Amino acid sequence: MNRIFLVIVLAAVLFAGWKQFSFQPAADLTSPMEALSTAMVESAAGAVDLAIGLVGVMTLFLGLMKVAEAGGMLVILARLIRPLMVRLFPEVPAEHPAMGAMILNLSANALGLGNAATPFGIRAMQELERLNTQPGTATNAMALFLAVNTSSVTLLPTGVIALRAAAGSADPAIILPTTLLATIGSTAVAIVAAKLYQRLVPMERSRATDSVKTSTVTDSGEASTLAAAEGAYPLWVSIVALVALASLIPGAILFGKALSPWILPGLMAGFLVFGAVRRVKVYEVFVDGAKEGFQVALRIIPYLVAILVAVGMLRASGAMDLLVGALSPVTGRFGLPAEALPMALMRPLSGSGAYGILASIINDPAIGPDSYTGVLVSTLQGSTETTFYVMAVYFGAVQVRRIRHAMAAALTADAAGVIFAVLACWLFLN
């Protein structure tokens, strides 16, 4: 991200400087360098205004998610997908801690609980490394787990919905069906790609014995959650749930516009009723979660300032217009406007960078959050993941240096996410 930020700023300064030399002063014209200076100040102020506007909405959603988490929704989802996971990862014993950690990681990602997903993901990698007969080399299970993570199995992209609401969207939750289709498609491709690529890069045979090692989870919170998720529902229950989830896609395409105004009120009422039925003190837990939302909204201010200033400079310099004009005739034919290209390229590299570009696009009066481009970039943010960050954190936690086919599978999932996001937005908005 350091290099990307530097390149964007230098490109803007150099391009504006080149235009400055040929600029002819006039009473009603602003020089390129003056426009660049103005864009820097206005973008920085706009980033802070955006973050402050985001505080309330982020607080609301994280409060609701805290109620769902306290009510055991994470454990319920984990038990639903467990029968499918044991078939996807046949080399991981069903009762090994690695399986439980992977299930909870994917369940947390599905609910948009990124803060909970990362610790479980690291725990899963550590447990998978204990099963590894070749320490330092990614196993098939590690590569598949990482590919599925980068495909971003997301059912509730709460952060993106909050940002869209702060940007003045008339229907912030319109991205739920498009995100669902995109994430199902990219996850399916991630699984197929990982299974195919592992045949091209087989692991070397090891003389080490394939003994199954277990470990003790030291964190009491993780231990209790892992223990609660140990059981599994019957396979037919998982299949029914998966079919029901997939059936939401055609239903959303046919009736989504009529139902979308009901989504946010329904989510709030549904989560609170769920918590109350599970005997959660919904008000107190909501307030606790809301406190986290306030802190999250404040923490992103420096990232938003950096990215929005860089993007604002690139636009003010004219370099962005040049790039859009060159690429739009090609990408536009495939449903990917050139304005959305920076988002598609940034997403695998930097989560904060992509978040800043998303904010810049949907807050642009010429685009807006409810246009095709606004919905597309929102879907991209909600249905793809920061591939290189995930890979660095998860593999770095267990010091894996030989990643084999993990990168190829993850990038294939990213590309699939873009394609399915375009397809979903085209189906839903046309």
pLDDT tens-digit map of 282-319: 999 888 878 876 776 676 677 668 777 887 788 788 88
- How big is the CA angle at 177 (ends 342 and 360), to the nearest 5 degrees? 25
What pLDDT score does 216 carry?
41
Q: Catalogue the E-assigned strands of 90-208.
A: none
Structure tokens that stand for 53 in this block:
């506007």
Whole-number Å distance between alpha carbons of 248 and 183: 13
Return the exposure string of 302-341: e unless at least 16 CB atoms fall within 10 Å of the residue's CB, then b.
ebbbbbbbbbbbbbbbbbbeebbeeeeeebeeebbbbbbb
What pLDDT score does 409 carry?
92
Q: Which parts of the chain sit beneath pLDDT 50?
A: 207-218
| 3-class secondary structure, 365 | coil
* Sign (positive or negative) of CA dihedral 108, 110, 111, 114: positive
Whole-number Å distance between alpha carbons of 330 and 132: 45
What pLDDT score does 252 carry?
60
What pLDDT score does 218 carry?
44
Beta bridge partners of 137: 402
Whole-number Å distance between alpha carbons of 386 and 422: 19
Whole-number Å distance between alpha carbons of 64 and 58: 10
What pLDDT score does 232 carry?
63
Whole-number Å distance between alpha carbons of 177 and 212: 41
What pLDDT score does 113 carry?
62
CA proximity to 123, closest of 219, 198, 231, 235: 219
Main-chain phi, psi angles of 333, to 5 degrees: -65, -25
Return the exposure string of 147-166: e unless at least 16 CB atoms fall within 10 Å of the residue's CB, then b.
bbbbbbbbbbbbbbbbbbbb
Whole-number Å distance between alpha carbons of 123 and 127: 6
